[in-house]
């Protein structure tokens, strides 16, 4: 006679199933979710290398193209982590199949971890493929692998959490586009991806340090070229604090059913 399955404190089967669903969802359309971001990043790289004279410039004491490459890799990684969680939740809400995730015995923390892990996996995969592609054109290898790995995971988590929060808050695709256009994109372009902080007026340095994206770019770049614009310890603390704050907000939204339950 069939017996009910005892789940225990953590529903490991449900958590694994949700994470696997999120990973398989973007792998089924890898041309769109992996290849396209890599090509877009290479186009950015080509523009700076060929059209804007990047070959002859320097930044932070290294050739500009070596300075630029880690920032582009990080942006591709982080933006795709955001896209994965935001699109997954947004589509599920619009199609009405979000109930298939809310009905199973999954706690808010398990839902959060499942969605965020899916975003992290996509971000790390896109970042790795982008690094391999850029490495064909410029020698860029980690010299401090620990910083590279920490900031890759922390940044992917940050954007995956932000994407999940945006996906829950949004009621239509225009709303999630607003989050992308007015939050993610401005913070990305003002993060120091395309320039060193010493190129800014002194009065803008404080403003730059208020941007959490600056720290994820700066620490990640340090892992590759050994130079940074900010304090590495402060950057680590900011990333941990930002991830913790967004995780707490996401858990609260899931626990209360905000815009998920009628």
pLDDT of residue 53: 60
Number of domains in the chain: 1
**Res 41 pLDDT > 80:** yes
The rounded radius of gyration (Å) of the Cα atoms in the chain is 19
Position 212 confidence tier, pLDDT thresholds 50, 70, 90 = very high
Distance CA 48, CA 52 (A): 5
| Residue 4 tokens, joined | 């009910």
pLDDT in tens, 133-152: 999 888 889 999 999 999 99
8: left (phi > 0), else alpha (psi -120 to 50), else beta?
left
Average pLDDT over residues 4-32: 88
pLDDT of residue 129: 96
**Res 8 pLDDT > 80:** no
Residue 14, domain member (yes or no): no
Residue 106, domain member (yes or no): yes
CB 160 within 8 A of CB 80: no
pLDDT of residue 202: 79
Position 96 confidence tier, pLDDT thresholds 50, 70, 90 = confident
Top-confidence residue, 126 or 54: 126
Residue 69, domain member (yes or no): yes
* Domain residue limits at 99: 26-256
Residue 2, domain member (yes or no): no
pLDDT of residue 44: 85
Q: What is the pTM of this model?
A: 0.92
pLDDT of residue 220: 95
Residue 126, domain member (yes or no): yes
Distance CA 237, CA 73 (A): 22
Q: Specify the 3-state DSSP secondary structure of 257.
A: coil
**Res 242 pLDDT > 90:** yes
Q: Specify the 3-state DSSP secondary structure of 59.
A: strand
pLDDT of residue 197: 81
Average pLDDT over residues 70-98: 93
CB 58 within 8 A of CB 64: yes
pLDDT of residue 127: 95
**Res 52 pLDDT > 70:** no
What value does the mean pLDDT of the chain take?
89
Top-confidence residue, 257 or 261: 257
List, in sequence order, every beta strand (DSSP E) within the chain. Answer: 58-59, 62-63
CB 224 within 8 A of CB 70: yes
Average pLDDT over residues 213-226: 93
Position 24 confidence tier, pLDDT thresholds 50, 70, 90 = very high
| Residue 32 tokens, joined | 């769109």
Residue 7, domain member (yes or no): no
Residue 3, domain member (yes or no): no
Q: What is the dihedral of CA 180, 90, 71, 231, to 10 degrees?
A: 80
- pLDDT cut 90: percent of the chain above it: 62
**Res 239 pLDDT > 70:** yes
Q: State the Cα angle at 65 between 143 and 189, rounded to 5°.
A: 100
Residue indicated by tokens 């692998």: 145
> Would you tell me how many other CB atoms lie within 10 Å of the CB of residue 125?
20
Position 72 confidence tier, pLDDT thresholds 50, 70, 90 = very high
């Amino acid at each position: 006679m069939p017996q009910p399955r005892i789940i225990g404190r953590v529903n490991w089967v449900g958590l694994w199933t949700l994470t696997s669903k999120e990973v398989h969802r973007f792998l089924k359309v890898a041309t769109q979710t992996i290849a396209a971001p890599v090509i877009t990043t290479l186009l950015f790289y080509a523009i700076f290398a060929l059209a804007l004279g990047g070959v002859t410039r320097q930044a932070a004491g290294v050739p500009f193209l070596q300075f630029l490459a880690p920032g582009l890799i990080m942006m591709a990684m982080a933006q795709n982590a955001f896209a994965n969680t935001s699109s997954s939740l947004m589509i599920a809400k619009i199609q009405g199949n979000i109930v298939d995730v809310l009905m199973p015995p999954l706690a808010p923390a398990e839902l959060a971890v499942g969605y965020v892990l899916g975003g992290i996996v996509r971000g790390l995969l896109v970042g790795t493929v982008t690094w391999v592609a850029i490495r064909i054109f410029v020698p860029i290898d980690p010299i401090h692998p620990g910083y590279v790995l920490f900031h890759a995971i922390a940044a992917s988590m940050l954007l995956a959490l932000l994407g999940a929060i945006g996906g829950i808050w949004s009621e239509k695709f225009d709303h999630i586009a607003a989050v992308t256009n007015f939050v993610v994109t401005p913070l990305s372009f003002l993060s120091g991806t395309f320039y060193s902080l010493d190129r800014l007026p002194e009065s803008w340095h404080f403003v730059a340090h208020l941007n959490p994206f600056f720290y994820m770019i700066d620490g990640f770049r340090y892992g590759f070229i050994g130079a940074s614009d900010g304090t590495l310890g402060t950057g680590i603390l900011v990333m941990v604090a930002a991830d913790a704050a967004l995780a707490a907000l996401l858990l609260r939204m899931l626990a209360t059913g905000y815009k998920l339950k009628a």
